[in-house]
Structure formats: structure tokens, C-alpha cells
Structure 1
């Protein structure tokens, strides 16, 4: 279990085993697209530019509380919990701000409606004058030494429900950078890397014994960190990076994988399926969370063939507990029933993504550029693990691939873009 706190000068997130915000879901440093998203939501509701685009910001995944909510996260910056943003199937992106965000915005010059002093105002409704709020669904409100957020009750009315309050005067801190993340997380990084390297060496001695091992490599942050750790523990000459190209991979991922493998000095093997995804869609329908035939046929079948012919006994994988409930239940050392005869080891099983990012910063391996484009997972262009907003992003970048899949499935494009993978 990890906790999140902040160094204030400069503003830098710090992981520890105790103290701070408990990380229940995954947590990570937001990419460029994610920071722009938060800034755009603040401008939408409060008509002020918060300037978060270049600020260190941590996203903390939270569970969806409704079938209408496809994806939700808390966002933290400047040592403050600033709110929750979520993607609604009906409304698109929605912001739920905290009083801390209201205080920060007021310090930047945003106007707040004075409502006088009153105790225990949080959760209560107040009527604001006509000049407050305009047509926005939320306004900043000020109550003596406190400032907060009021959400409009009903359509066009003047009554607002006070959602949250915080002391006035919160201000932005000096920005930290990647080097600060490494510096202030040095202790947890050292302990975590030492433990992972020891686990890798022990698994190698007890299972493989000699010769080479494989690392399942997708070009995502987790598999990149795992590849680097295995190369560090065993030496690059003993490592084969195995990239399974399903035929639906993002073009950026394969080129990134080639750069990383070259940088680390490990051999890269690219596997390809014997059938095309679009042909299988015509036969089986679209892939879904409940029926991920794409993984079984396009990814695991080539892997099974590779391992059966290579004689390898062990491979390392970047799966982590924080990714999903199912992955949290996966043993750290065991067999994947879909790849028999080869043992799977998970060196970073217990790491949050923020720790993965800090490690990659420390060894100077840049992240896959797709993270800065808004994608949380690096897989296929049309992956069942995608959130709905990611599907829309992917469609905007690789429309031709999606059009082929939609045609093969016999669907209309509008229907396709509204569907959640889990309900297909």
C-alpha cells in the first residue's frame, strides 16, 4: 500500500508507505492532454484560465459510482486535492471541484460572490443575486475567510447549493520537474528497485537457470519499466523483448518499442498473427470485455507458438495490482493458463504507476508519446480495455481502422461510438 504527499518547494508528489492520501486506485503524473483537459473544464465552469497545462498534477483513479459514469479520477496539484473529473455517457466531461480549487482560483483573480458569514453552510442552499454566476452551472462563493463552490439548483434559477469550502489564500507553488520527482522519491525508488531486481534474479535462478529469458513488451510504461529492470538485473544479453503485434497496434508503439530495445541493448522480437482482425470481426463480432477473442487469437496464439519453439521457461510481465481487480488477484510468480509451459513473473506487481514513471525518469527512458495524447493504456487502436473517451480519441487519430471494423461488424458509426466495450 502506498500513500501520496507533496514537497511544496518545488511542488513535487512523493510516495511513501505511510502518511498522506492513501492510494486506493492507480495514481500517476498527468500527461499533457490530461492537464489540458482539467484546464479546459475549469475554464468551462468558471471562465478563468487556471494555467494547469505545465503544472505537475497527479491523477488518482476512483471507482465509478453510476452506470452513467465511464471513468473518473481525482486530480491533485500544488499540494492540494482540487476535485474530481469524470466522463459521463450523457454529458461528456464533468468537473466536481473542491473548495481548495475555489481558493486557488480566487488567488489567481477569479471573482467570488460574497454571501456573508454563516456557520455550517456546506450542503445548504443559498440564493445569489442576479449578477452572480451568469448562466454557469457553478460559481465561486465567499464567506468571510472561506471560499467555495456553489452548484446551481434547477435550470436558470438563482439558488445554489454550497458543495465545498476551504480557507482563502491557497496559491500556486513553484513547479517541480522530472528531476525533482526522482530526487524526492529517491528512498522509495531505491527500496522498490532493489526488491524488484532481487525478485528477478531469484526467479531466473530457480526457473531458467541459464540462457535467455523473455519480457512481454507492449511499449507501455509498465512493460518498459519491467524490461529495463530485467536488463539491469540479468544483463541485456540475456533478455529478449517480445512484442506481439496484433495488427491493430498504434503505429507509435512499435517505433517506441524499437527505440527502447535499442537503447537498452536487448533483442526485440516482433510476433504477428496469422489472421487479420477485420476478418475475425466479420466472423465473431466486435471484441468486448466479456469476450476478448482479440487477445486470445491475435496476441496469445503467436506467443504460444514462440514459447513452444524457443525453449524458454520464464517470461517477465509488467502487470500491476493497481490496474484492475483481476490483476490484483494474479500471483506474482505462476502460470498464465493461456500460455502453458512457461512461468510468468511480475516484478512491479505492487507498484502504482507514479512509481513506474519515477523509475523511468531515473533511468532516463522517455514515456511512450501516446500518454501525452490522452491514452491511459497502450494497447490496440480499438481495445476492449479502452474507456469511451479513449475510443473517441483513437477514432479521431485512426479513423480508417475503425471504419473497417465497423463495416465488418455491420454497425453504424454513430452506434459504434456510443457503445461501451463492456456492453458489446
Structure 2
């Protein structure tokens, strides 16, 4: 078995051949800068059809009933949105289109949402005098991607992989793009490395940065101080400090037999004067991937960090309360009834409590899809009792009937969302508030996904035509949510401590595959039932690695599938 680390740690790790070649954290999360009204899709910039643009105003009912046929709308003098997805038909309508802002999926077709009366996010920020651009005020608290405190489960994994006892110090995990779980590990205000779940090996991996070796103050080899730019270059023996033990360590690494995985080392700790480095072996050579100047770590207790960050979160809370007060007043004048949705997750717990702060008698609704974790159901009941919520739990258990005609739900076709959530919710709202329109307070955040990053603070539902949803915590990062929860001693779903990032249906195709394999450990009966059903179409390797989660595999998953098949 090939070692992940050298003499620094006595840990053996299988090496993933599918890991991306670049490990430079600073380059991974840079997003393309686009002009106004454009976003990047498939590495090309395409015009974004704004739903509130005058040129795109059209009759939604006519558009749907007439089957998106351009010729049926020409006489009305209105232009339907253009579809530029894959496999377009003769009218240019593509089933995989993602070119329309604020859309919903109906089977495999996307129908635009009529948001002509929605106030754009920027306009509402100015109108309510919300404090924005907080990253310039508090740069130490700002993260480009969703970030969170490491859970006890994640800390346990990290400690085993790194031999670091983090104690009760702050460890922050910032989400990175990847095939599955992949997060940047931030400790002592430095980037230790990347924690990721290897889908090929079905194991956890830690990819170190120079700061990791810097923290341990242990290195595999040492180089002479040099004015040469060695970063990105192959390390030659002439670069080494002339020391017997140092030369022996170098030769041991580069001369490891190819067929002896136990003797091979993948990641190498390098010291060069006042710099710490990370090297990677390739055959009988070592490439110096990165160098960082040695400096002290600023370890911080969780209680101290929460105290500092709470001032930042208080600004976000005040913004959210302004949004809530505005939306509730606005829609009450229109005759809407107001309620809040509660899923049993951290975000909806915060949005519900903020809503209750503005409107103490607010009604709350939760959907039991029949696929929830038992911990979630128990938590919802306890939360409702603790805060004396006027809550209704709606039964949405239609999944095992509907799967017989719809097939396995996937990221490409999440029919389960309509079947298990939206249909039951629509029936409930019609019965609960006959003839009334509804404003629902929701805990969605822009950092959760690319789609949600385009949300405004309000949105008209395309599935429930009498419902509008508002998102008061849209601008919160997960780290802000957890800071608010910890500071206010708010109880949270215990599954978060078990390493779950997404609290929802246990077989959700949008969940991480590392979480699905965690279900095997915590709820083997659930895992067995779903795996048994999937086995009608997929083999064990495909189930374990989550190939069932897509109708059409993305490029990296296709590469993995090809590699697994060979």
C-alpha cells in the first residue's frame, strides 16, 4: 500500500489515481468575471434571460399551454425565452437548458417562473438600507465558498489522517469543487490542506499544504537555501543539504520499488531555509509543488472565535429582520397569509426563529416525505415543543408508489421533489387557506449552490401558483448560521455531528456519496432497502460510488466509470 506521508507520519494510504492534478487552493475557487447579465456555462459566456426584462415579458399561461412553440406567440408580439440546452428540437427548445434565471424542473423540462413583480436583490438592499459588502468590512470573516466548523466526525477523520490533536480549537472547512466531499482545512488561520472523499478507493484522503509540515515542524528532506525559483521544479540531489541522514531519506523515497506500494511515499515534507514546502513523487522523482514562508499559527478557542464573529453575524441578523418585516408588511397588505417552512435543518431553524421574532404567532409547516431520518423527525418535534411553535407536519409519503412509474430519481430528474414535497404542500395549503395566497418564509441561502446564488429575496413559485417564497437569510454563510446557533444555544439536528452536510431524505441524489455510505453505518436497514432497489439496474461498485445519481454522468464521473470498467 502506497504511503500518503513519509517519515513525518506512520500512516499508510491508498493513492487515488483520479485526484485532480492541481492542488493550488488559491486557484481553485476563482470564478470567471462576467459582464452584467452574463454567467459562465460550459466554459462559454451566454446571455442570461432576465425574467423581469421588458423584452422577455410574455404570458406564462399561454407559453405553457401552447407548448413553447414560437409561432404561436408571434402574433402576440412577445418573445418567448430562447432555449440553448443540449439536443434542441427544430424550434430550438432543449431539454437540458439552464439559460433561464429562476426556473423549476418539471420532469426534464424547465418552465420559467413569472417574477415580474419581484423586487431585485440589489434594489431591495438599497430600499431597506441593508449593510452589504461586509467582506470589505470584515475580511477575516469572509469566505468565497460555503464554510463551516468541522463536526466531531470530521475532526475524528482529520486527527487520524494528520496525527494532529485539534482539542477545542477552531477548525474551519471551506467547500471546494470536486466529485464528492472536498473541503479546504483551515486551522490557526492557515490552510493545512484538503480533506476529500476518494470515490475510487471509497476512503478519506488528506492532501497536505506546506503549512501542514510547518505546523508539525517535521520534514522528510531539507534543501539548501537558494535564490533559484524551485517551486514547480523537480528536486535534484545537488539541491539537498549535504547531510548523511538527509541524503539517505531522499534516496529511500526516489528509489522505492514500483511494485512495493508500502515503500512508496506520495507526499513529501520539504524544508528550505525559512520556507516549508510540499513535494509530490512521480516515479523516481520528486516535484516541489508549493513553498510557504514559515510563520506562527494563531490557534483560537471556539468560544473566542464565536465572540468575535458574533458582531459580524449580528449585522446579518439585522438585515434579515428588515427583510422579514418588509415582506410580511408588503404581503399582508395584499391579503396573503404568512407561514414558515421548517425542514429540520440548521438553516430553516434559524429562519423560523427569526420569523417568530417578527411575527410571534406565525404558523409553521414541515413535510415528512417518509424518507426522513428518525433523528430528524424526533428533532422537529422537540424543536417545535421548545419554542412553542404552531406547527403542522404534512405527510408526503408517496415515494415508493411513484418510483414504479418514474424510475430512480437523479440530479438530472428530481421528480421526487414534486412528488414527496410540493404536491403534498400544495394540497395542504389549499385546504388550510382556501382561496388565499400564501407567503412562505424559507431558509435557502445563496452559498448552497450556483442556482441559489441567483435568487432574489423573494420568488413566485412555479409549482404552487398561489405561493410566494421569501429568503431572509439568503446572504448568510453556513459559518454564520453555526455561529448564531452556538451563540444562542439553539438545539440542532444531531446528524450534523455525525458528518452530514445535507439533512433531508436519506436517499437524496443531491446528497454527497460520502454521506450515503455513512447511512450504511448509522442506518443499515435504510441503506439495504435502497441498495436492493438500485441493484435492479446497477452493480455494487456503481451503487457504492454513486453512479445512479445522474441520468447522464458529468465528465469526471465518466472518467471514473471508464477507469472502473477497465
State the TM-score, normalizing by the size of structure 1: 0.85
Distance (Å, rounded) in 1 between the aligned partners of 2:548 and 2:161: 26
Could you give the per-residue CA deviations for residues 62-92 of structure 1, whole angstroms, max 9, x where no partner exists?
Answer: 223xxxx333221111111222233333244
Deviation at 1:143, TM superposition (A): 1.1
Deviation at 1:103, TM superposition (A): 0.4
Which residue number corresponds to residue 362 of structure 2?
239
Distance (Å, rounded) in 1 between the aligned partners of 2:444 and 2:430: 22
Distance (Å, rounded) in 2 between the aligned partners of 1:415 and 1:172: 43
Contact 2:280 2:289 in 1 (8 A): yes
2:225 pairs with 1:96: no
Deviation at 1:171, TM superposition (A): 4.0
2:369 pairs with 1:369: no
Moved more, 265-274 or 127-136: 127-136
Structure 1 unmatched runs, 5+:
1-14, 43-48
Which residue number corresponds to residue 79 of structure 1?
189
Could you give the per-residue CA deviations for residues 107-158 of structure 1, whole angstroms, max 9, x where no partner exists?
Answer: xxx344222222322111225744355632112111122222221112xx3x
Select which of 194, 204, 220 maps to 2:318. Answer: 194
Moved more, 201-210 or 301-310: 201-210
Deviation at 1:308, TM superposition (A): 1.1
Which residue number corresponds to residue 372 of structure 2?
249
Contact 1:244 1:272 in 2 (8 A): yes
Which residue number corresponds to residue 174 of structure 2?
60
Distance (Å, rounded) in 2 between the aligned partners of 1:278 and 1:400: 16
Moved more, 339-348 or 145-154: 145-154
2:249 pairs with 1:124: no
Select which of 314, 320, 324 maps to 2:445. Answer: 320
Shift in alpha-carbon separation, 1:21–1:201, aligned structure 2, 3 A:
closer
- The equivalences for 1:10-49 within 5 A come to 16-18=134-136, 19-20=139-140, 23-42=143-162, 49=163
Distance (Å, rounded) in 1 between the aligned partners of 2:546 and 2:298: 40
Contact 1:72 1:86 in 2 (8 A): yes
Which residue number corresponds to residue 296 of structure 1?
418
Select which of 398, 403, 406 maps to 2:528. Answer: 403
Contact 1:35 1:53 in 2 (8 A): no
Which residue number corresponds to residue 168 of structure 1?
294
Which residue number corresponds to residue 423 of structure 1?
550
Contact 1:36 1:52 in 2 (8 A): no
Q: Let me know the Cα RMSD of the aligned residues.
A: 2.3
Deviation at 1:381, TM superposition (A): 0.8
State the TM-score, normalizing by the size of structure 2: 0.64
Distance (Å, rounded) in 1 between the aligned partners of 2:457 and 2:313: 20
Structure 2 unmatched runs, 5+:
1-132, 238-246, 254-262, 552-566
Number of equivalences: 389
Name the structure with the higher strand share: 1
Deviation at 1:421, TM superposition (A): 5.0
Deviation at 1:16, TM superposition (A): 4.6
Moved more, 283-292 or 83-92: 83-92
Which residue number corresponds to residue 216 of structure 1?
341
Distance (Å, rounded) in 1 between the aligned partners of 2:311 and 2:169: 24
Deviation at 1:390, TM superposition (A): 1.2
User: SS at the partner of 1:17?
Assistant: helix
User: SS at the partner of 2:376?
Assistant: helix
Could you give the per-residue CA deviations for residues 380-413 of structure 1, whole angstroms, max 9, x where no partner exists?
Answer: 1111111111111122222222322333342444
Could you give the per-residue CA deviations for residues 253-308 of structure 1, whole angstroms, max 9, x where no partner exists?
Answer: 11111222222221221111252x23333332211111111111011111111111
Shift in alpha-carbon separation, 1:83–1:357, aligned structure 2, 3 A:
same
Deviation at 1:22, TM superposition (A): 5.5
User: Which of structures 1 and 2 has the bigger CA Rg?
Assistant: 2
Deviation at 1:366, TM superposition (A): 2.9
Moved more, 339-348 or 405-414: 405-414
Distance (Å, rounded) in 2 between the aligned partners of 1:272 and 1:217: 14
Distance (Å, rounded) in 2 between the aligned partners of 1:53 and 1:279: 48
Which residue number corresponds to residue 9 of structure 1?
none
Distance (Å, rounded) in 1 between the aligned partners of 2:310 and 2:516: 36
Contact 1:300 1:338 in 2 (8 A): yes
User: SS at the partner of 1:286?
Assistant: coil
Distance (Å, rounded) in 2 between the aligned partners of 1:358 and 1:368: 15
Contact 2:370 2:397 in 1 (8 A): no
Contact 1:403 1:413 in 2 (8 A): no
Contact 1:388 1:420 in 2 (8 A): no
Distance (Å, rounded) in 2 between the aligned partners of 1:301 and 1:216: 15
